[in-house]
């Protein structure tokens, strides 16, 4: 009787697209019932025993078995909704978020907190932006159990020492806010200078996420620098080749997917500890094709699609498979790094464009702040 009543409630919850639930029936027997019922399909007298499993787990829950799922957004409600382990932001996402009514108070507080600061002009704007990034990070860390990535000013991408200085400042501000460094990834562009800055940071226990990654040379330099995590960009590689050829790439043919495959297999083959987090997606196929990658950072629209589908997810990447591959080791010093990057037009263009665009969004954010101080 208890089960029957509960199933009727499941039927009504079906409209909320909750997915699958697990519960304990009388006598402690575990039962699982999928919420994919439509109201009309729920019999008033369902013949279901306590141990019945009625199919389907969402693709999101299946993916979480192979890969750590990370939310790629500055929107707190989306992060809450999909229960990711970590979250990532970038200057464009923060710029987008502060233009929404819901997040304006964070910006207003960062400005108010600095109202009696001795800093003026650009220095004051930069401090307000740092406080804003920390405010976003802290709010996100109230939601996720893991880490948040906070990006350093993209204009420092070719300045190793200034990047290290900014990373230390951000970690110091997090510390003041009561957040330990273990929960932070400092996001730095994957330039040569960025990788060398990360090498210094990691030695100080400041963990780094090397972003704007489009090529194996960048990935090797980051692994050799001992960085905690890299973010190879799938979608922006797809964008480049789609624009160049007019072709729509799908699944394993997608050059962005192929790029992550190459990097992941290289890392696992040679036993690098640096984690690989696929980022920047343009379609669900790219995400599914990378199931098994250490982490994937996924925007809310794709998280929603994954949550709403129960199609089977298959693991595509694994350390075991990579170890059996025939892969040549490459020694990457600064000269080789620059040469490899220069040889790949896509990576050269996308790295430069990515830095330009993130920098432009920081400048726009500064302009908003300048008007208010």
For position 157 contacting ligand E4P by CB under 6 A, the verdict is no
Instruction: Name which position in 58, 150, 261, 297 contacts ligand E4P (CB under 6 A).
Output: 297
Contact region for ligand E4P (CB under 6 A) — 128-136, 193-201, 230-238, 264-272? 230-238
Read off φ and ψ for residue 70, nearest 5 degrees.
-120, 140
Strand partners, 233: 279
Given the structure tokens 């730095």, which residue do they identify? 188
- Specify the residue, 90 or 190, whose C-beta has the smaller distance to ligand E4P: 90
For the chain, the farthest-separated pair of C-alpha atoms sits apart, in whole angstroms, at: 73
Distance CA 132, CA 342 (A): 36
Distance CA 324, CA 309 (A): 33
Please check whether residue 214 is in contact with residue 346, taking contact to mean a CB–CB distance below 8 angstroms. yes
- Specify the residue, 34 or 87, whose C-beta has the smaller distance to ligand E4P: 87
- Specify the residue, 33 or 132, whose C-beta has the smaller distance to ligand E4P: 132
First to last CA, the chain: 65
Nearest approach in angstroms of CB 52 to ligand E4P is 40
Catalytic residue among 64, 127, 166, 187: 187
Residue window 171-210: x/- pattern of binding to ligand E4P, with contact defined by CB under 6 A:
----------------------------------------
Distance CA 31, CA 339 (A): 58
Distance CA 111, CA 373 (A): 7
Nearest approach in angstroms of CB 249 to ligand E4P is 15
Distance CA 314, CA 329 (A): 29
Determine what percent of the chain falls in helix, strand and coil, rounding each to the nearest 5.
55, 15, 30
Of 266, 254, 265, 150, nearest in space to 206 by CA: 150
Given the structure tokens 């192979």, which residue do they identify? 66
Nearest approach in angstroms of CB 186 to ligand E4P is 13
Please check whether residue 39 is in contact with residue 12, taking contact to mean a CB–CB distance below 8 angstroms. yes
- Specify the residue, 90 or 215, whose C-beta has the smaller distance to ligand E4P: 90
Instruction: Name which position in 90, 150, 218, 274 contacts ligand E4P (CB under 6 A).
Output: 90
Burial class (CB in 10 A: 0-12, 13-18, 19+), 333: exposed
Is 175 known to be catalytic? no
For position 78 contacting ligand E4P by CB under 6 A, the verdict is no
- Specify the residue, 279 or 291, whose C-beta has the smaller distance to ligand E4P: 279
For position 275 contacting ligand E4P by CB under 6 A, the verdict is no
Contact region for ligand E4P (CB under 6 A) — 47-55, 130-138, 227-235, 262-270? 227-235
Instruction: Name which position in 7, 72, 82, 170 contacts ligand E4P (CB under 6 A).
Output: 72
For position 279 contacting ligand E4P by CB under 6 A, the verdict is yes
Burial class (CB in 10 A: 0-12, 13-18, 19+), 123: exposed
For position 88 contacting ligand E4P by CB under 6 A, the verdict is yes
- Specify the residue, 72 or 286, whose C-beta has the smaller distance to ligand E4P: 72
Site for ligand E4P in 236-255 (CB under 6 A): 236
Q: Which chain residues interact with ligand E4P by CB under 6 A? A: 72, 88, 90, 211, 231, 233, 235-236, 279-280, 297
Q: Please list the active-site residues.
A: 187
């Amino acid at each position: 009787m208890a089960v029957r009543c509960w199933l009727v409630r499941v039927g009504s919850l079906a409209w909320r697209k909750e997915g699958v639930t697990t519960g304990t029936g009388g006598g402690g027997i575990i039962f699982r019932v999928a919420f994919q019922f439509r109201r009309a399909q729920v019999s008033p007298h369902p013949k279901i025993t306590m141990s019945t499993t009625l199919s389907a787990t969402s693709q999101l829950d299946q993916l979480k078995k192979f890969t750590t799922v990370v939310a790629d957004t500055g929107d707190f409600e989306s992060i809450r909704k999909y229960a990711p382990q970590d979250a990532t932001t970038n200057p464009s996402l923060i710029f987008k978020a502060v233009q929404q009514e819901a997040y304006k108070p964070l910006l207003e507080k960062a400005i108010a907190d600095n109202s009696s600061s001795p800093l003026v002009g650009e220095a004051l704007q930069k401090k307000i932006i740092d406080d804003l990034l920390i405010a976003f990070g802290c709010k996100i860390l109230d939601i996720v159990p893991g880490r948040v990535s906070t990006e350093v000013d993209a204009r420092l991408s070719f300045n190793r020492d200034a990047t290290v200085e900014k990373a230390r400042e951000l970690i110091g501000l997090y510390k003041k806010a009561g957040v330990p460094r273990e929960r932070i990834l400092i996001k730095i562009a994957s330039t040569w200078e960025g990788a060398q800055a990360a090498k210094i940071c990691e030695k100080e226990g400041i963990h780094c996420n090397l972003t704007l990654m489009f090529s194996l040379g960048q990935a090797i330099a980051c692994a050799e620098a001992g960085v905690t995590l890299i973010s190879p960009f799938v979608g922006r590689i797809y964008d480049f080749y789609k624009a160049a050829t007019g072709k729509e790439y799908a699944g394993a043919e997608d050059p962005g997917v192929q790029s992550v495959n190459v990097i992941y297999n290289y890392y696992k083959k040679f036993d690098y500890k640096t984690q690989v987090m696929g980022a920047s997606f343009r379609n669900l196929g790219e995400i599914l094709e990378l199931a098994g990658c250490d982490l994937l950072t996924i925007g809310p629209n794709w998280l929603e699609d994954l949550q709403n589908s129960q199609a089977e997810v298959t693991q595509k990447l694994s350390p075991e498979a990579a170890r059996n591959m025939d892969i040549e080791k490459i020694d990457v010093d600064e000269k080789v790094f620059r040469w490899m990057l220069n040889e790949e037009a896509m990576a050269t263009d996308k790295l430069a464009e990515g830095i330009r665009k993130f920098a432009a969004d920081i400048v726009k954010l500064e302009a908003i702040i300048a008007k208010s101080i």
